[in-house]
A and B are shown apart, each in its own frame.
Chain A
Amino acid sequence: MSRVILQTHDLTVRFGGHVAVDHVSCAFRTGELTAIVGPNGAGKTTYFNLISGQIPSSEGRVELNGRDITRASVSDRCARGIGRAFQLTNLFPDLSVLENVRLVIQSKAKMGFSLFSMADSHRDVTDRAKAVLEKVKLFDLRDQVVSALSHGNQRKLEVAMLIALDPAVYMFDEPTAGMSVDEAPVVLDLIAELKAEKDRTILLVEHKMDVIRTLADRIIVLHNGMLAADGDPVTVMASDVVQEAYMGKELEDV
């Protein structure tokens, strides 16, 4: 049964006089993949930052499973089930690929304060990390230092970190940005797989309209920080807002 898991009420943030996210009220249901679209600077990343807690809101509330988490810390929200992949790759650069993923699984297992055991002796954690790396096809690169990876592989690792966390709410921020044409489908297939596997709640910021058409159950459009449209893909894509402000330009990129 689908139910509302995440909800924002009049969520707003101002940077000086600039309102980056403007009274956005929206509910997200389990099992639903919502695409969030809008031109650059529309406030998509900022909206994500407000939900996962990287920046405090000026106004409004965020609710997860009916509980107000507007004041909760980032790590607390993560522990409660909000997981986030970043638009700008944001990893642990001097650690190995495997260690990056291992750290996520270790966090989920609440082992961070284990002081006297050897990290590498926790086989189950390492094995799960390896399984995730197999899934995203990074297994062979597991011992490489992250800073030595290509951009495309760093993006894949970014996705792998989120899969390792397996949160109740997945938030992907332009996961294929800057990826080559043959790398991007790997990531998109992973997201499609996540969606098919079980009732996951997925929020996806993505520009490629053909991708959205096949993946999304619903589209919301942000424009100047405001919620400009919300509905099923066919309706939203046909709407004037999208046609005018967005589609015309973006279709050329596809």
Chain B
Amino acid sequence: MIVKLLSGDMPRSKLLSAILLAILICLAFAPFIFPGVRSLDTAARICVFILLVASYDLMLGYGGIVSFAHTMFFGMGAYGVALACTYMERGFGALIVGAGAGALLAAVVAFLIGLFSLRVRAIFFAMITLAVASAVAVLVSQLSGLTGGEDGLNYKIPRELTPAFKFGSEFLGVKLNGKLLNYYVVFFGAFLLFLLLLRIVNSPFGRVLQAIRENDFRAEAVGYRVINYRTAATCISAAVAALAGALYAIWLRYVGPDTALSFEIMVDILLMVVIGGMGTMYGAVIGAVLFVVAQNYLQELMSVASAAVEGIPLLPDLLSADRWLLWLGLLFVLSVYFFPSGVVGRLRQGK
């Protein structure tokens, strides 16, 4: 049963299994284990980013396709929900229409980019995605009448998913309100879609992608039309990224260029997939958890550390919370140096 759910793709390392299980439990019971507003927010972000990074891994780690447009696809889902909630009647219908339209648009745009550029060279595809993503980001900030421009959009999601909706008093010290339901929409949405991706990479289609990544020349020679497979992988990846964006929009009840379209998110995705381990799917889980937690808590940890070493010259400066990106960068370089195949690759070797 578990084998089926994981599509036969077992973690293949005791430690990795334990870590993944711990993460799953923490996320599944996050509202009860970490009841704070901020920590629940972190948990939801982790769910969204696991899905987003996993969808990127399908393209990069399995298909060997480098794209810089993944945030754009993410944004399409997020803005899809935001626009539907802004311009449609409040309700679940708007969420479904918004998410569906966002995913469809992402898949169509991915198809068009793929059709025109995957045929040529991989680097050309990367460049086109960069250009299209930049153009879309500019377009979104220009069309402020529709998209709220730089300010973004605040909108109403169904009342059942907001803190105002109460369906009981308390359970294990946690308020039973719409926020809790909202978290579980995000959690289960991300969880099911992750399992779907895991199934796809272990399907005959997923194997073809790996073959193409290894040797596209030979894949074509044994009868696989490489361009079709690459395009399909790009479309699936884009659609799932859009759905991750939709979940994020449902959670935040706000969408803006910084949260859903900025190039910084693209860089974050790349870091997460590399730290976790490309072409493993589970790497997305590890990478996203490490990264989001570091992003959220490294600054605090550092200000504590900086206070602790007060009086010693230089150290407090280095440890000042403003330097957190520096340390994150250092962590990244070290992790790539010591685990070139990512944390997952390292754990699997070490078994």
**Do the two chains belong together in a single complex?**
yes
* Residue ranges of A at the interface with B (Cβ–Cβ < 8 Å): 52, 54, 73-76, 78-79, 84, 86, 90-95, 99, 102-104, 106-108, 111-122, 161, 165
Shortest beta-carbon distance, B136 to chain A, in Å? 27
Contact A106 B214 (CB under 8 A): no
State whether the Cβ of B67 lies closer than 8 Å to any Cβ in chain A.
no
Q: Which residue of A73, A119, A165 contacts B220 across the interface (Cβ within 8 Å)? A: A73
Q: Are A114 and B205 in contact (CB under 8 A)?
A: yes
Selected contact of A103 from candidates B202, B222, B232, CB within 8 Å: B222
B217 interface residue (CB < 8 Å to A): yes
Chain A contacts of B208 at CB under 8 A? 103, 106-107, 112
B211 at the interface (CB under 8 A from A): yes
> B138 to nearest A CB, angstroms?
35
**Chain A residues whose C-beta falls within 8 Å of the C-beta of B214 in the assembled complex:** 92-95
B203 smallest CB distance to A (angstroms): 5
- Beta-carbon contacts under 8 Å, B63-95 to A: none
Given A54-B221, A75-B225: A118 and B203 within 8 A (CB)?
A: yes
Distance, CA A76 to CA B228, complexed state (A): 12
CB within 8 Å of A: which B200-248 residues: 200, 202-208, 210-211, 214-215, 217-226, 229, 232, 236
Contacts of A117 in B (CB 8 A): 203-204
Residues B221 and A119 in contact, CB atoms below 8 Å apart: no
Check B223–A122 contact: CB distance below 8 A: no
Residues of B within 8 A of A (CB): 4, 7-8, 199-200, 202-208, 210-211, 214-215, 217-226, 229, 232, 236
Contact of A75 with B215 at beta-carbon distance under 8 Å, contacts A111-B204, A114-B203, A119-B202 already known = no
Taking a contact as CB atoms closer than 8 A, the residue among A84, A99, A107, A119 that contacts B224 in the complex is A107
User: Can you list 15 residue pairs at the A/B interface with Cβ under 8 Å?
Assistant: A74-B220, A75-B225, A78-B220, A84-B221, A86-B218, A86-B221, A90-B215, A92-B214, A95-B210, A102-B207, A107-B208, A107-B222, A113-B205, A115-B200, A120-B8
Selected contact of A118 from candidates B202, B222, B232, CB within 8 Å: B202
Query: When the two chains form their complex, are residues B211 and A95 in contact, meaning their CB atoms are under 8 A apart?
Result: yes
Interface of B is mostly: helix
Please report the C-alpha to C-alpha distance between residue A233 and residue B109 in the assembled complex, in whole angstroms. 58
Count chain A CB atoms within 10 A of each CB in B4, B7, B222 and give the residue with the most. B222
Please name all residues of chain B whose beta carbon is closer than 8 Å to the beta carbon of A122 when the two chains form the complex.
204
**A198–B61 alpha-carbon span in the complex (Å):** 42
Of A99, A108, A113, A121, the contact of B223 (CB 8 Å cutoff):
A108
A73-B225, A92-B211, A107-B224 known; A118 vs B8 contact (CB < 8 Å): yes
Contact across chains for A91 and B218 when beta carbons are under 8 A apart: yes
Known: A112-B204, A115-B205, A116-B203. A161 touches B222 (CB 8 A): yes
A84 to B219, CA, bound (A): 12
Tell me how far the C-beta of B216 lies from the nearest C-beta in chain A, rounded to whole angstroms.
10
C-alpha gap A120/B206 in the complex (Å): 11
- Of the candidates B210, B224, B232, the one having the most CB atoms from chain A within 10 angstroms of its own CB is B224
The one of A76, A84, A161, A165 in contact with B225, judged by C-beta atoms closer than 8 angstroms, is A76
B215 touches A93 (CB 8 A): yes
Of chain A, the residue at the smallest CB distance from B208 is: A112
**How far is the CB of A10 from the nearest CB of chain B, in Å?**
25
Q: Are A115 and B223 in contact (CB under 8 A)?
A: no
Q: Which residues from A are CB-within-8-Å of B229?
A: 112
Q: Which of A79, A84, A90, A114 contacts B204 (CB 8 A)?
A: A114
CB distance from A187 to the nearest CB of B (A): 19
Residues of chain A contacted by B222 (CB below 8 angstroms): 78, 103-104, 107, 161, 165
Cβ contacts under 8 Å, A115 to chain B: 199-200, 203, 205, 236
- Contact status of A91 and B202, CB under 8 A, knowing A73-B225, A103-B222, A161-B222: no
* A-B pairs, 5 with minimum CB distance: A107-B223, A78-B223, A92-B214, A114-B204, A75-B225
Residues of A within 8 A of B7 (CB): 118
How many angstroms from the CA of A165 to the CA of B217 in the assembled complex?
16
Closest beta carbon of chain B to A143's beta carbon, Å:
13
Assess the B199–A52 pair: CB atoms within 8 A: no
